[in-house]
Each structure stands twice: as C-alpha cells, then as structure tokens.
Amino acid sequence: MVKRLFYCEMIVLCHLLLAAAVDHGNPANDLVDIINNNRTAQKLSHLNDSPGLGCMALQYVELCKDNCTSNNTVNCKPSEDDFTEVFAPNCGVELPTFDILTGHIVGCQSKYLEPLVAFSNVLVKDKKSLSLVKNKSHTEVGVGMVGGHKGHFFWCVLFSSGQTNSTFVLENHGLGIKQKKGCYSGSSIPCSGGHKISSVFLNIISMGFLFLFLLQHW
Ligand SMILES: *[C@@H]1O[C@H](CO)[C@@H](O)[C@H](O)[C@H]1NC(C)=O
Ligand SMILES: *[C@@H]1O[C@H](CO)[C@@H](O)[C@H](O)[C@H]1NC(C)=O
Ligand SMILES: *[C@@H]1O[C@H](CO)[C@@H](O)[C@H](O)[C@H]1NC(C)=O
Ligand SMILES: *[C@@H]1O[C@H](CO)[C@@H](O)[C@H](O)[C@H]1NC(C)=O
Ligand SMILES: *[C@@H]1O[C@H](CO)[C@@H](O)[C@H](O)[C@H]1NC(C)=O
C-alpha cells in the first residue's frame, strides 16, 4: 500500500515538474517585456515585438553560439551583409521590407539565467548598453536566444526604427521559415532546445514509475 502510494506520488510529481517546464514559455518574449517595462517606466515609448527581427536575432546567436569566451564575453563579429544575405533569407524575411537597424546587444553566459537576470547581469550591465535600450529612435525590437554546444547560452536583442508591422515581414503569411533550434520573440511557436529535452526526460521517468506501478498490481 505504501509502495503504491509512492509510485502514485512520483507520477504526479513528474507531471507537475513537466507542467512547470512547459509553462516556462518563451524566454525571448519575456525579455521583450522586460525591455518594454524598463522603457515605459522611464516614459519612453513601448516597442513593437517584431517576429522578423526576433528570428534574425536568433540567426545572429546561431552564428555566434560557439564564440563565447571563458569570461562570458562575445567574440563574434557578423558582417553587415550577413543580415541581408544570411539572416533574413534563413528566416523568410521579405527583403523589400528590411528596414534600418538602430542597434543590437549580444551577451553570453556559461549557464541558463532567467530573463530578468540575463537582462541586468548579461545584456545591460554598463552605461553604453543601457543608453542603447533607452534610445528614442527605436520603434521595434526582437530577441533571439539559443544554448550552444559548449553549454553557453546566447542572447541577442535587435532594435529597428522601422514602421511597425510593415517591416521585417515574414513570408508565408507571417510564419516565415521554421527554425530548428532556439527561441525568438513574437513567435507563436514554442521554444525548442533545453526545455524540450527536460520534458522528454521527465516523461520517460514518469512512464517508468507508471510501469513499476502497474507491475506491482499484476
Ligand atoms: C576577458 O574579457 C576582456 C574584455 O572584458 C577581454 O579583453 C579578455 O581577452 C577576456 N579574457 C579571456 C580569457 O577571454
Ligand atoms: C568565432 O571565433 C573564431 C575563432 O576565434 C573566429 O575565427 C570566427 O571568425 C568567429 N566567428 C565570427 C562569426 O565572428
Ligand atoms: C540612437 O540611435 C540612433 C540610430 O542608431 C543614433 O544615431 C543616435 O546617436 C542614438 N542616440 C543616442 C542618444 O545614443
Ligand atoms: C532599467 O534597467 C537598468 C539595467 O538593468 C536598471 O539599472 C534600471 O534601474 C532599470 N530601470 C527601470 C525603471 O526599471
Ligand atoms: C498594423 O498594426 C495595427 C495596430 O498596431 C493594426 O490595426 C493593423 O491591422 C496592422 N496592419 C497589418 C497590415 O497587419
């Protein structure tokens, strides 16, 4: 009886953990909210969350994900042309809608940090990056995030002064090209990567306990 209860509890526990992992949502969207909260608290305009910009930010971190130094600085310099020749096509951003980029912030860290901690400890840790966040020229923003091979987590924020919702338009009615890895803001598709692995893992453990439970009742 005690054993049966234990198995039941373990199954419930796994499912609760699973729900927590899935509930995690999209950290790139959370970072956009954090940026907007920071701006609006200082009476600056709210920025439009652009999935086209977000997807290009994801391409940026994809390109740079293995270039995080041992002291968490980004050693990576994509060229201007990469944006129009690589990042936009990889996302399915319609090129005629490509607009001016008014800034970018990149950061990496050897482990996953919650978006609020990543904002203040990784991305906006000096005056220069804070003044970039607060720049009045921006009208839209996009965030990309990915975990690299060496266990580093990379974040990129892209800003633009484009006319909101007529710029960085994604083809296929706004869906763009499906991304295999990472997260980007403005996307209706949940993140892939770290969280997915943990939910598969928890499901397997949960199934294991269910199996043991059934075995005990045979
Ligand atoms: C650490 O960061 C500084 C810049 O802040 C850089 O100049 C230096 O090369 C870095 N050291 C290593 C070992 O990556
Ligand atoms: C990444 O780092 C390597 C080694 O330092 C360098 O050769 C390469 O150009 C860097 N990648 C980018 C996109 O800057
Ligand atoms: C804001 O961004 C624009 C466009 O990148 C730049 O020209 C301007 O100097 C920035 N303003 C400040 C106060 O940094
Ligand atoms: C905005 O972010 C910066 C950097 O983390 C922080 O120092 C500042 O207090 C924030 N401002 C508001 C109003 O939240
Ligand atoms: C652009 O955004 C506005 C509101 O922000 C919305 O009313 C309008 O339908 C949008 N236009 C397109 C083409 O999506």
For residue 120, what pLDDT is reported? 97
Does the CB atom of residue 102 touch ligand 3 within 6 A? yes
Specify the CATH superfamily of domain 28-189: CAP (3.40.33.10)
Token representation of residue 190 = 């949940």
- CB of 35 sitting under 6 A from ligand 4: no
Strand partners of residue 145:
155, 183
Centroid of chain to Cα 61: 10
pLDDT of residue 201: 54
pTM of the full structure: 0.80
pLDDT at 17: 52
Q: How far is CA 84 from the centre of its chain?
A: 21
Residue 149 gets which letter from DSSP?
Answer: T
The bound ligand whose nearest atom lies closest to the alpha carbon of 129 is 4
Residue whose C-alpha is closest to residue 48's, from 140, 134, 165 = 140
Give the closest residue (by CA) to ligand 1 atom 6: 73
What distance in Å separates the CA atoms of residue 148 and residue 181, rounded to the nearest whole number?
Answer: 10
Give, using CA atoms, the residue closest to atom 3 of ligand 2: 67
For residue 134, the CA-to-ligand 4 centroid distance in Å is 10
User: What's residue 71's pLDDT?
Assistant: 86
Taking the CA of residue 76 as reference, the ligand 2 atom at the shortest distance is: 14
**pLDDT number for residue 14:** 52
Question: Which residue, judged by its Cα, is nearest atom 1 of ligand 1?
Answer: 71
Tell me the domain boundaries of the chain: 1-25+192-218, 28-189
What CA–CA distance (Å, rounded) separates 88 from 84? 5
> Would you say the CB of residue 100 lies under 6 angstroms from ligand 3?
no
Q: Which residues of the chain have pLDDT under 70?
A: 1-24, 192-214, 218
Q: Is the dihedral of CA 66, 61, 103, 130 positive or negative?
A: negative
The phi, psi pair for 165, rounded to 5°, reads 60, 5
Going from the C-alpha of 31 to that of each of 79, 119, 157, 164, the distances in angstroms are 25, 7, 9, 19
pLDDT score, position 187: 87
What Å distances lie between residue 89 and 8, 20, 86, CA to CA?
Answer: 50, 35, 6
| Per-residue DSSP letter, 110 | S
Q: How far is CA 16 from the centre of its chain?
A: 23
Predicted confidence at residue 199, as pLDDT, reads 52
> Would you state the structure tokens that stand for residue 30, as one six-digit string?
């959370």
Whether residue 135 has its Cβ less than 6 Å from ligand 3? yes
CA neighbor of 211 nearest in space, from 1, 17, 11: 11
